[in-house]
């Protein structure tokens, strides 16, 4: 892994959505897509989803579980939980600064 800890890389937004989705328990691909759409109001296409899942798994942020009825669930690893928390804390500061600049 050549990127610093916590760095999600070029495809950060879908990866962050997936990590947040998995933060309350394991889910299979379709359940992740549905959850992300409920959270964001925008659909996450299957190509984007499965590409991001593969990258997150290679980085050790998630792990695939045994298939259940032809569906493969994924869950956060300890590193994934720490990473998503660090990303969200970092975004908190960014949002606060952005809102302050807008006068909100």
CA–CA separation, 104 and 97 (whole Å): 10
Report residue 16: phi and psi, to 5°.
-65, -40
* Structure tokens belonging to residue 91: 């975004």
Question: Residue 8 has what pLDDT?
Answer: 60
Q: Other CB atoms closer than 10 Å to residue 45's CB: what's the count?
A: 11
The domain locations on the chain are: 12-102
Q: Is 81 exposed, middle or buried (0-12, 13-18, 19+ CB in 10 A)?
A: middle
For residue range 46-92, list pLDDT tens digits in order.
999 999 999 999 999 999 999 988 899 999 999 999 999 999 998 89
* CATH code of the domain occupying 12-102: 1.10.10.10
Q: Report the chain's mean pLDDT, rounded to a whole number.
A: 90
Report residue 99: phi and psi, to 5°.
-65, -35
């Amino acid at each position: 892994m050549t990127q610093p800890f916590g760095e999600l890389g070029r495809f950060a937004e879908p990866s962050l959505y997936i990590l947040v989705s998995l933060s309350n328990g394991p889910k299979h691909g379709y359940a992740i897509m549905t959850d992300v759409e409920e959270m964001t109001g925008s659909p996450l296409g299957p190509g984007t989803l499965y590409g991001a899942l593969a990258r997150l798994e290679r980085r050790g942020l998630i792990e695939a579980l045994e298939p259940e009825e032809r569906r493969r669930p994924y869950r956060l690893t300890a590193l994934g939980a720490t990473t998503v928390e660090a990303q969200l804390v970092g975004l908190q500061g960014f949002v606060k600064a952005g809102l302050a600049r807008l006068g909100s």
